[in-house]
Each structure stands twice: as C-alpha cells, then as structure tokens.
Amino acid sequence: MESKPKAAGKSSIDLIDQDLAFDNIMVGSRATYLDLGCGAGNYTLALARRLGAGSLVYALDLWEEGIAALTERAREEGLGNVEAKVADLSRTLDLPTGSVDAAFMATVLHDLPEEARPGLMEEIKRVLVPGGVLALIEFKKFAKGPGPSDPEKRIGPEDADRLTAPHGFVHDTVVDLGEVTYLVRYIGK
C-alpha cells in the first residue's frame, strides 16, 4: 500500500449520528476497541471520551502524520486510553490474538484494495475475542454526496456481508446513520 492513504486527512464523523454509531460499536465502558484506518483520530477520540477507566482504544493507520496528530491530541486531552500505531492494514496487525472486544472501520473499507480485504477480515477475526463486534461505517450506495463518485466503488450492506461471512462474521444489524452513511454490525464466531 502507498504511504499516504487515499483519503488521508478526511473524516466522515460530522456526517453521522455519533450517538447512534457509538451505541452500536460500544460493548462496554471497560473494553478494548480497535479503530482501523483511524486517520487523524476523530472517531478514536470521540470513542475514547465516552469510555471509562480501564478501557483502551487501539488506533491504526498507515498515515504517519495522522498518527502523530492523534497521539498529540489524545495527550492534550488527557486521554490515556488511546494507543495509536502506524500500521499497514494489508499486513498482519501488531496486536495479540483475542485482544480486542470490538473493531470498527469508518468510511475506510471502500478505499482498501479489493485484494487486501479478505486478509484484513482474517486479521480482524484473529484479534477479536470470540463473540466480538465488527462495525463497518460506509457511504450509502448512490452517486451523490461525499465518498466515491462511482456507486460501484461504494460498499453496501450486502457487499459487506459477502466480504465478512467467509471469515466467520454473522450479520447482526444495519443502522442508518444519516443522509449518506450507514453502519453494519457483525458478531464474530
């Protein structure tokens, strides 16, 4: 993968109903979370602020400047529950097996090369605890608004189901997060 991700510096957090999204990502205030493709960490920080002591949010992204900015913002806010790392999502994740209670990707999956997606799903499965949650936030599949201009490059809930099912993820729910985004949640086996 290239060193600066395609949409580096962009965030969809202002396009979503944050309460609804985090209600569907959070599994407990003292859990361990994984933000995949975190960029500068807008989702990471929003989640970390909602969690209690004893929680941890791993934040991974290939964009070094974004990870540096996230680390600094977390420090400035006194959020000791954020651990940001530079990571290539197309490779093995530097996290222990079964160490994460819930993982999420916010408008990132559509930017990953198709050939890297199955390997990433296997890595997410590996790092999640049995019964852990995987939440994908993506742009709705139409040719307007932010996100890919070609609807075929967008990932709808059915596309996400086809990608995740072979890796043992069971479809749980789809949640409308606003005019242009949705969340689909899976439970890992």
Residue-wise pLDDT tens digits, 85-132: 999 999 999 999 999 999 999 999 999 999 999 999 999 999 999 999
Q: Coil, strand or helix: which one is 146?
A: coil
Strands 82-86 and 128-139: unpaired
Q: pLDDT confidence of 55, banded at 50, 70, 90?
A: very high
Mean pLDDT of 56-75: 97
CA dihedral 135, 140, 146, 150 (to 10 degrees): 120
pLDDT at res. 6 = 55
Task: Return the residue matching tokens 């409308």.
Answer: 176
Token pair in block for residue 91: 């490779």
When pLDDT is cut at 50, 70 and 90, the band that residue 72 belongs to is: very high
Per-residue confidence band for 9, with pLDDT thresholds at 50, 70 and 90: low
pLDDT band at 7 (very low <50, low <70, confident <90, very high): low
Q: Is the pLDDT at 42 greater than 50, yes or no? A: yes
Closest among 172, 1, 21, 170 to 107, alpha carbons compared: 21
Query: What pLDDT is attached to residue 2?
Result: 44
Whether pLDDT at 28 is above 60: yes
Above 70 in pLDDT, residue 79? yes
Task: Tell me the residue type at 143.
Answer: A
Q: Does the pLDDT of residue 152 top 90, yes or no? A: no
Name the residue with higher pLDDT: 184 or 143.
Answer: 184
142 close to 152: Cβ distance less than 8 angstroms = no
Please, what are the domains in the chain? 13-188 (3.40.50.150)
Q: Mean pLDDT score of the chain, rounded to an integer?
A: 92
Which has more pLDDT, 71 or 150? 71
